[in-house]
């Protein structure tokens, strides 16, 4: 069963995943709080992401730059000039709307990348009015999406909350290049908050004003764009693609070697496409039919990108394939911009030559991915609902129950729980019937349920129930930790 967005919102709220921030005051649009289960799921996604992508190269590291940066950073990056949303204000009620979103809602097409003048004409030609009060919409104007800050006692220092984590890696590149023994490629990863003053935040955690990104900025020698030392690992691996030429048609599947030859993409870029796809299909266990890379045309892609393919997952609650990340070849745009504004040379000496490093960015919206995981792994069966997450993502890997709260079963169950929680994310539950406890844990994704029953007192073993199949096996308490470790690693 596919949940619609209202059902997913209710599930996420009731089961402790996420809900609108400050809800006792009516909620704060565009901001979300994560509950116990949502926080555990989010942290596990971040941990898995960190472990996977930092291990792609021995010279990839995680850093933690500031969320607040001075205005000059964003002059250099081009955000002050280019990071704008097209806004149409209602002449009657004064509400400001994202012009491209209004058109998308009315005409059921994507309008990102279209100029303000073109959006204004489309609104007038199609007689589109304010969705709130049916008033006339004024001409579309650009609005800077960043949150400005006045820093200092006098408020005389202009700064912004960062709209992306990337700039923290760029302004720190030179220092890290020197600290890390002047080697390329160099990867600097950031998992942290970004802030955008979205005019029309919507679709729960897929479009927010405060959100979490996981980004890896890979600095490399531009002369080596069409090579990768581990190319043979992926050259026959097939990637799922939706090029501009296929718009309105089906996706295509090509080997990495074919992508280089037919689509003229460089090997360094394609190697990382393959690794991103493997992360989704092999690590997160996303079905192949739900995944694709979508190419963005020159008009659609961000102002700083030379090559831009979005990572998309099919989310029926949102009407089809939606972006959850991207692979962006940014060239030397960012480092050259910072060199110009900071007046500090960003040229490095590497491999007997001097140049400005180029950047390949792997960018992931953590909140969007959490939303996608909940939708894609939720299912309803005859008498239960199951959040069928892989064991490494489940908020709790196991739950421990006493069959009943008497006959020393509760004491023994507590002892088993205290032992297991040292190595697993475990929960103890003795409330309600055993059947209700099973189904309660199934719905929030708990992978195994361990029940201490009367046989345990005689044979010193427990029942281990598998979430997905409801199959049960008996395992000796002394072997329980080892057996569960094996089961978790294989699921």
Q: What is the residue range of 121's domain? A: 87-97+104-113+117-143
Regarding whether 243 and 323 lie in a shared domain, the answer is: yes
- Over pLDDT 70: what percentage of the chain? 100
In 3-state terms, what secondary structure has residue 477?
helix
- The phi, psi pair for 352, rounded to 5°, reads 65, 25
449-454 average pLDDT score:
96
Q: Are 442 and 385 contacting, i.e. CB atoms less than 8 angstroms apart?
A: yes
Return d(Cα 263, Cα 170) in angstroms, integer: 29
Return d(Cα 145, Cα 79) in angstroms, integer: 9
DSSP 23: G
Whether the predicted pLDDT of 485 surpasses 70 = yes
Span 295-335, pLDDT tens digits: 999 888 887 889 999 999 999 999 999 999 999 999 999 99
* Long-range CB contacts (within 8 A, 24+) of 46-49: 46/191, 46/212, 46/214, 46/366, 48/283, 48/284, 48/392, 48/393, 49/191, 49/214, 49/279, 49/364, 49/366
End-to-end CA distance of the chain: 23
1: confidence class by pLDDT, cuts 50, 70, 90: low
Which residues is 465 bridged to in the sheet? 449, 472
Q: Are 347 and 338 contacting, i.e. CB atoms less than 8 angstroms apart?
A: no
**CA 439 from centre of chain:** 28
Average pLDDT across the chain, whole number = 94
Which residues is 320 bridged to in the sheet? 315
pLDDT value at position 143? 83
Regarding whether 422 and 364 lie in a shared domain, the answer is: no
Closest of 473, 463, 361, 452 to residue 405, by C-alpha: 452
pLDDT value at position 346? 97
The pTM assigned to this predicted structure is 0.91
Regarding whether 332 and 226 lie in a shared domain, the answer is: yes
Regarding whether 459 and 430 lie in a shared domain, the answer is: yes
**CA 10 from centre of chain:** 21
Span 179-203, pLDDT tens digits: 999 999 999 999 999 999 988 888 9
pLDDT value at position 82? 82
Give the total number of structural domains in the chain. Answer: 3
Q: Which residue has the higher pLDDT, 113 or 381?
A: 381
Which residues is 398 bridged to in the sheet? 426, 448
CATH number reported for the structural domain that contains residue 406 in this entry:
3.40.50.800
Regarding whether 366 and 408 lie in a shared domain, the answer is: no
Regarding whether 406 and 347 lie in a shared domain, the answer is: no
pLDDT value at position 339? 97
- The lowest-confidence range among 150-154, 311-315, 452-456, 481-485 is 150-154
2: confidence class by pLDDT, cuts 50, 70, 90: low
Q: Are 417 and 431 contacting, i.e. CB atoms less than 8 angstroms apart?
A: no
Q: Are 217 and 235 contacting, i.e. CB atoms less than 8 angstroms apart?
A: no
pLDDT value at position 200? 80
Cα radius of gyration (the chain): 25
Contacts of 41 (CB under 8 A, 6+ apart): 17, 370, 373, 374, 389, 393, 394, 395, 445
Regarding whether 270 and 254 lie in a shared domain, the answer is: yes
Return d(Cα 395, Cα 12) in angstroms, integer: 13
Regarding whether 455 and 408 lie in a shared domain, the answer is: yes
Return d(Cα 271, Cα 196) in angstroms, integer: 31
Span 134-181, pLDDT tens digits: 999 999 988 888 999 999 988 889 999 999 999 999 999 999 999 999
Regarding whether 469 and 342 lie in a shared domain, the answer is: no
Q: Are 297 and 304 contacting, i.e. CB atoms less than 8 angstroms apart?
A: no
Q: Are 48 and 221 contacting, i.e. CB atoms less than 8 angstroms apart?
A: no
Regarding whether 167 and 51 lie in a shared domain, the answer is: yes
Regarding whether 407 and 325 lie in a shared domain, the answer is: no
Closest of 195, 188, 183, 212 to residue 63, by C-alpha: 188
Return d(Cα 26, Cα 20) in angstroms, integer: 9
- The phi, psi pair for 439, rounded to 5°, reads -70, -30
247-251 average pLDDT score:
92
- The lowest-confidence range among 80-84, 263-267, 325-329 is 80-84
CATH number reported for the structural domain that contains residue 294 in this entry:
3.30.930.10
pLDDT value at position 447? 95
DSSP 423: T
pLDDT value at position 202? 87
Regarding whether 271 and 192 lie in a shared domain, the answer is: yes
Span 40-64, pLDDT tens digits: 999 999 999 999 999 999 999 999 9
Whether the predicted pLDDT of 368 surpasses 60 = yes
Domain final position from 377, 402, 417: 377
């Amino acid at each position: 069963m596919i949940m619609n967005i209202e059902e997913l919102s209710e599930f996420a709220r009731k089961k402790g995943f996420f809900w609108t921030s400050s809800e006792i005051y009516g909620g704060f649009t565009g901001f979300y709080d994560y509950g116990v289960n949502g926080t555990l799921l989010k942290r596990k996604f971040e941990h898995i992401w960190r472990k996977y992508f930092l291990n792609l190269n021995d010279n990839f590291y995680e850093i933690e730059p500031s969320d607040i940066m001075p205005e000059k950073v964003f002059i250099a990056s081009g955000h002050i000039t280019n990071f704008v949303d097209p806004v149409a204000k209602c002449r009657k009620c004064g509400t400001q709307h994202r012009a491209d979103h209004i058109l998308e809602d009315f005409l059921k097409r994507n309008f990102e990348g279209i100029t303000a003048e073109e959006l204004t004409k489309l609104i007038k030609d199609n007689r589109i009015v304010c969705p709130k009060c049916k008033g006339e919409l004024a001409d579309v104007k650009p609005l800077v999406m960043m949150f400005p800050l006045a820093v200092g006692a006098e408020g005389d220092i202009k700064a912004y909350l960062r709209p992306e984590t990337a700039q923290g890696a760029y302004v720190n590149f030179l220092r890290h290049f020197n600290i890390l023994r002047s080697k390329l490629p160099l990867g600097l990863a950031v998992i942290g908050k970004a802030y955008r003053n979205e005019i029309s935040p919507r679709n729960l955690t897929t479009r927010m004003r405060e959100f979490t990104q996981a980004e890896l900025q890979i600095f490399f020698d531009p002369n080596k764009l069409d090579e990768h030392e581990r190319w043979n690992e992926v050259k026959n691996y097939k990637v799922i693609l939706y090029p501009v030429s296929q718009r309105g048609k089906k996706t295509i599947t090509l080997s990495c070697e074919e992508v280089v030859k037919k689509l003229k993409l460089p090997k360094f870029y394609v190697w990382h496409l393959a690794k991103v796809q493997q992360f989704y299909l092999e690590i997160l266990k996303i079905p192949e039919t739900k995944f694709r890379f979508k190419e963005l045309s020159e008009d659609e892609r961000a102002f700083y990108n030379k090559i831009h393919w979005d990572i998309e997952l099919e989310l029926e609650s949102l009407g089809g394939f939606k972006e959850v990340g991207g692979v962006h070849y940014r060239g030397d745009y960012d480092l050259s911009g910072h060199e110009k504004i900071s007046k500090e040379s960003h040229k490095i000496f590497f491999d007997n030559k001097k140049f400005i490093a180029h950047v390949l960015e792997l960018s992931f919206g953590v909140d969007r991915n959490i939303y996608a995981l909940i939708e894609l792994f939720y299912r309803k069966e005859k008498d239960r609902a199951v959040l069928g997450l892989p064991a490494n993502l489940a908020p709790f890997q196991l739950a421990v129950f006493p069959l009943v709260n008497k006959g020393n079963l509760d004491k023994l169950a507590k002892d088993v729980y205290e032992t297991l929680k040292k190595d697993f994310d475990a929960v103890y539950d003795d409330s309600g019937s055993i059947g209700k406890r099973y189904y309660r844990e199934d719905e929030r994704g708990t992978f195994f349920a361990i029940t201490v029953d009367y046989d345990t007192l005689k044979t010193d073993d427990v029942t281990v129930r598998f979430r997905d199949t409801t199959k049960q096996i008996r395992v000796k308490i002394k072997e329980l930790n080892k057996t569960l470790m094996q089961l978790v690693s294989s699921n």
